Amino acid sequence: MITFQQEYCEDVSQDWLDLFNAHYEEIAWNQTRIPLRPDLKKYAAMETAGMLKCYTARDEGKIVGYSVWFILNHMHYQDTVMAMNDIHYLAKDKRGSMVGIELLQYAEEKLKGCGVQTLGLHIKKVFDWGRIAERIGYECTESTYQKWIGE
């Protein structure tokens, strides 16, 4: 049975990190230069400050998806509380079901209850699920480009 819940950075366990690593390996840009090294202390500090929310999907207790959001009053629109997703991921064996959408809708409901007024998703080109987002009410408003300038 799938359950949805809010979870906290201080409780991140190896199963979280294993799923996070699978996510990274599937979609991360420039992996040979940018290793996965999440700063869990910063995540926890942001969570304590009310600037981060983590929601998960679990199947019989095992984590199968997460939706993590940064929350802030936008610098250009200080009267508007916005949430921008940091990461949203569903294990490959759960795709094709409604679990990913249900997790996103659960997060939306909880974020709205926190006073969030607008949501933003960033969706990787390598795994573009933008059409699904559009079907549930999101609009494509911009594209992001990256360039490596390090050594």
Q: Residues 16-69: pLDDT tens digits? A: 899 999 999 999 999 999 999 999 999 999 999 999 999 999 999 999 999 999
Structure tokens at 94: 């759960």
Return the pLDDT at 127.
86
pLDDT digits (tens, 9 = 90+) for 92-131: 999 989 999 999 999 999 999 999 999 999 998 888 999 9
**pLDDT classification of 8: cutoffs 50, 70, 90:** very high
Residue 90 main-chain phi, psi, to 5 deg: -135, 135
Looking at residue 115, its pLDDT comes to 96
CA distance 148 to 74: 27
Can you point out the beta strands (E) in the chain? 2-7, 52-59, 62-73, 81-90, 118-120
Q: Which CATH class is domain 2-135?
A: alpha beta
- The residue ranking higher by pLDDT, 78 or 11, is 78
Tokens found for residue 103 = 């997790």
Residue 11 confidence (pLDDT) above 90: no
Question: If residue 134 lies in a helix (H) or strand (E), which one and from where to where?
Answer: helix 130-135
Torsional sign, CA 7, 9, 10, 15: positive
Residue 28's SS3 state is coil
Question: Which pLDDT band holds residue 3 (cuts at 50, 70, 90)?
Answer: very high
Q: With cut-offs at 50, 70 and 90, classify the pLDDT of residue 13.
A: confident
Residue 79 has pLDDT above 90, yes or no: yes
Average pLDDT over residues 125-147: 92
Q: How far is the C-alpha of 58 from the C-alpha of 43, rounded, in Å?
A: 21
Through-space distance between the first and last CA atoms of the chain, rounded to whole angstroms: 48
